[in-house]
Amino acid sequence: MILNSFAPSRSTAGQRAMFTRRKLLSCSLAVATCAIAFSRIPGAAAQSTDAASSFVAQTAKELTDIVNGGAPAAQKRAALQGIIDRDVDVADVARFCLGRFWRTATPAQQKEYVDLFHRVLVLNITGKVGEYQGVTIAMGRSVPREGDVAVSTMVTRPGNQPTRVDWLVSMASGSPKIIDVVAEGTSLRLTQRSDYASYLSHNNNDVNALIAAMRQQASQNPS
C-alpha cells in the first residue's frame, strides 16, 4: 500500500532517479503477511495459504484505517512504523538487497547498513503517509511460491488505476514476516538489489560509499 524504494539519494539527477524509481511500489506498504510453515502434514499448504489470506486481510484493514483515519500525521507515522517493525523481516530483506556485497562487508559495515536500511525504509513509508488518503485494498488469491506464500491484493488510490500487489511471506525466521512486495510483476527487493549493485559499480564497489549515501538519506525529516 505504501511502499517506497529503500535507495539512498545520489549527487546527480540520473542517480537520484535510480533511487526514487518505482513510485508504484510506494503504493504498497512493506507490511502485511502471514503464513504457516510448510510441513509434511497433509493439507499444510492449504492451511498456510488460508492463514496468509486471513492475516493480510486483517492487516490491510489496519493499514487502511491508519492511512484514512483522522489522526495527526505524526501519530500515523508512529503507527505505521509499528507495523513495519512487527511484520517486515527487515534484516533479511536488507541482506538480500545488498547481494554479493553482504559477504564482503565487514561485521561493522553490515550492522550499520542494516540499521540504515531500516531507518530509510521507515522514512520512505511514513514520510509519504499523506499521499495515500482514500486507499483501498481488495483481497485476491493466496498461493504457495517456492516455500513461501504469495498473497494477491488489488490496491486502489483515488485518481489512479488499481494496482495488483502480491505480498510474499515467509516463516523462516520463526514468525510470519514479509520478505518481498511485487507490484504489477515488479519485485521490490530484486529492483532494490539491482539499484544497489548499480550504485556500487559506479563507486568502486565500496560499501562505505553506499552506507554514506544511506546515512545522508536517513537524516532527512519526514515530508
Are the C-beta atoms of 46 and 33 separated by less than 8 Å? Answer: no
User: Residue 111 and residue 152: Cα distance in Å, rounded?
Assistant: 33
Among 14-23, 54-63, 104-113, 125-134, whose mean pLDDT is lowest?
14-23
Residue with cell 548499480: 198
Instruction: Show Cβ contacts of residue 80 under 8 Å, excluding neighbours closer than 6 positions.
Output: 2, 29, 31, 63, 66, 122, 125, 126, 129
Strand order from edge to edge, sheet including 177-183: 136-145, 148-156, 163-170, 177-183, 186-187
Domain 13-218 = CATH 3.30.930.10: no
Are the C-beta atoms of 33 and 178 separated by less than 8 Å? Answer: yes
| pTM for the model | 0.78
Three cell numbers, residue 85: 517493525
Q: What is the pLDDT of residue 116?
A: 97
User: Residue 40 and residue 62: Cα distance in Å, rounded?
Assistant: 33
63 closest CA partner among 150, 183, 153, 171: 153
Instruction: For the chain, give every domain's residue range.
Output: 13-218
Q: What is the pLDDT of residue 54?
A: 77
Bridge partner residues of 164 (DSSP): 154
Q: What is the pLDDT of residues 123-172, one digit of tens each?
A: 988 888 878 889 999 999 988 888 888 999 999 999 999 999 999 887 77
